[in-house]
Amino acid sequence: MISDGMITLPGWPAPEITDWLTFAASRERYAPGTEFHVAWINMIANTGTYLDTPAHRWAGGDDLAGVSLDRLADLPGVVVRVPAGTRSVDRLMLAPYEVAGRAVLLHTGWDVHFGTERYGGPEAPYLTGDAAQALADTGAALVGIDSINIDDMGPAAGGVRPAHSTLLAAGIPVVEHLTGLGALPPSGFRFTAAPPMVSGMGTFPVRAFAAVNP
């Protein structure tokens, strides 16, 4: 959920949600008894749960308008359960899972800290570069995580972003700041995280959801 003033990434601007047209003001424009509300939102693209396309990392990569819908919607999904206290999700941890053609969702449980100072702290879980390469090599369709970033944001990382670089170079969209992954089964569901088709933008919020197979 996106709300006025909500902080997604510490130090980055929060969204501003106001009215462009109120019900009261609209009464002057329409027939008696007819009224409308139109909101105004000002925000950065990296707000709430959002999707990264290749254009987020690579100049000339596919943007929101260029990524095919079959990489974003109704994907068979698999949840990778990350043991509590684990920071780095490595290649070995992914080995038991069938990921080809699937939305691979990393369930770290870090989403419980969203909105707190700890959420953006150096202990946040992440995907290693080697694990990202394994996902690319085995043909994952999409990768998501319920943490602040799919890459290590700790001070020792030095600003290097191997997971973003590898996955997006392979055309694999990334979804960050997921929540509620604990409610999903290990597999047997379809995952969707489709943003609007905005030309020239590489990132945008999504309403990510899963439909569990009956």
> Could you read off the pLDDT of 157-183 as tens digits, one per residue?
889 999 999 999 999 999 999 999 999
d(CA 111, CA 105): 13
> What 3-state DSSP class applies to 126?
strand
> Could you read off the pLDDT of 70-89 as tens digits, one per residue?
999 999 999 999 999 999 99
> What 3-state DSSP class applies to 118?
helix
Retrieve residue 173's tokens: 């969209």
Averaged pLDDT, 29-52? 98
Q: Is the pLDDT of residue 202 over 90?
A: yes
Contact 161, 153 (CB under 8 A): no
d(CA 26, CA 28): 5
Residue 68 confidence (pLDDT): 97
Q: Is the pLDDT of residue 4 over 90?
A: yes
Residue 156 confidence (pLDDT): 85
Residue 66 confidence (pLDDT): 98
Retrieve residue 17's tokens: 């949600």
Which residues sit opposite 192 in a β-bridge?
209
d(CA 126, CA 161): 10
> Could you read off the pLDDT of 181-199 as tens digits, one per residue?
999 999 999 999 999 999 9
On average, the pLDDT of the chain sits at 97
**pLDDT confidence of 118, banded at 50, 70, 90?**
very high
Long-range contact set of residues 194-197: C-beta below 8 Å, sequence gap at least 24: 194/69, 194/72, 194/73, 195/50, 195/51, 195/64, 195/72, 196/64, 197/64, 197/65
